[in-house]
Amino acid sequence: MDWDSPWRHIEMGECDPILELNEAYKRDTDPKKINLSIGAYRNDESSPVVLDCVKKAEKELLPKKYPFKEYAPMGGVDEFCELSKKLIYGENVCTQNVAIVQSISGTGALNLGASFLSKFLPGETRKVLISDPSWSNHKSIFTNFEFQTEQYPYYDRRTHTLDEQGMLKALQDAPSGSIVVLHACGHNPTGLDPSPLQWRLIHEVIKQKAHISFFDLAYQGFATGDLEKDIFAIRHFITDPPGPILVAQSYAKNMGMYGERVGTLSVWCSGKPQKEAVVSQLKLIIRKIYSSPPIHGARLVSLVLGNEELKRSWQAELKEMTARIIAMRTSLREELEKLAPSRTWKHITDQIGMFCYTGLTPEQCHRLLTEFHIYMTSDGRMSMAGVTTSNVKTIAAVFSKVLQ
């Protein structure tokens, strides 16, 4: 039936390049296809993983402790929020002035934080500084709230190292009170994190300029395998004094809670009245969007974090996952040094976390896709979770071919 639809003027929206690559991979019927695009952990058989600690919590503990399906409060499952706060800031840190609410994973936390800042950021500054390169959604989220975004130098593509001086200068030159988006660990897409010394230098400039630090914490424990080591930057920033800090936390990667969409947004405040005011405003934002967050994943995380045996199991599984990725980095580098010795491949093992910034060009990545059915983003980012003992030689061989 033909009718005069009010939607007739709507054009097709742009596809997300990473998600579209994954869909194209699913449609590909070639038996030799390899997916190096999606940011989700796979074991050495290229299969998704549900952590043993999560399985045990879901099967043995969840039905007993949480038999009902009542709504969570607007701010989320209280126990989950408190345990998450301790995981970020430490067991022995006074966090009574930290406002925290449950979020729809990391993306939801970033959106919630951007919405909050758009309403309450004092002054005229509407500038958000994002690393070059960064996760593509960072820019989209902040521009959606009418912030002006600029990139600060981060990755030197010639040397495959951190552009320390370029980054510090950009932060120094930015208007005071700008929002600085920082990857707490496991930088996406480069896999290159500042050293502790570099983090201290970054913090000094941010303090001098009274910038607002907004940490994206998507990979705690998944970057190095050590929950404490991966949280160094945030723990350093909350000292002497904390200053304005927001943290978007996700359990998608480090606890395999991808589809459960579990995370938090926390905001450091200067006192209890301020904290309570911030929480109240965050709840009002939440109320207008989804009223209250889902309970299942948050309860599972609470059971793992609140049970010493399950928490130890989780930490062991984190080390196992990161050890596999580190081993694949080593194997890939060794194979490439044999097949393409004219180039340096040290950056593959210098980088950490799920992603590797290979240095391949968009043209070379296109050849990988069209000629060899290897799926990578056009900027040369590859997911190390897609590399296995059975395909690492193939990947190296194909890389060497497109480099010729």
Distance, in Å, from the CA atom of 331 to the CA atom of 142, rounded to the nearest integer, reads 38
Place of tokens 């043995």: 60
Q: Which residues contact residue 26 at a Cβ distance below 8 angstroms, ignoring those fewer than 6 apart?
A: none
Distance, in Å, from the CA atom of 272 to the CA atom of 263, rounded to the nearest integer, reads 23
Q: Which residues contact residue 8 at a Cβ distance below 8 angstroms, ignoring those fewer than 6 apart?
A: none
List the structure tokens of 271. 């006192």
CA 28 to chain CA centroid, Å, is 28
Catalytic residue among 135, 199, 314, 345: 135
- Strand stretches in 190-270, DSSP E: 212-217, 245-250, 262-268
Cα-Cα-Cα-Cα dihedral of 5, 9, 11, 13, to 10°? -80
* Catalytic status, residue 253: yes
Distance, in Å, from the CA atom of 382 to the CA atom of 189, rounded to the nearest integer, reads 8
Catalytic residue among 253, 268, 314, 345: 253
Catalytic residue among 193, 216, 268, 314: 216
Q: Which residues contact residue 82 at a Cβ distance below 8 angstroms, ignoring those fewer than 6 apart?
A: 100
* Catalytic status, residue 28: no
**Inter-CA distances, 179 with 87, 122, 267, Å:** 24, 12, 13
Q: Kindly list the catalytic residues.
A: 135, 216, 253
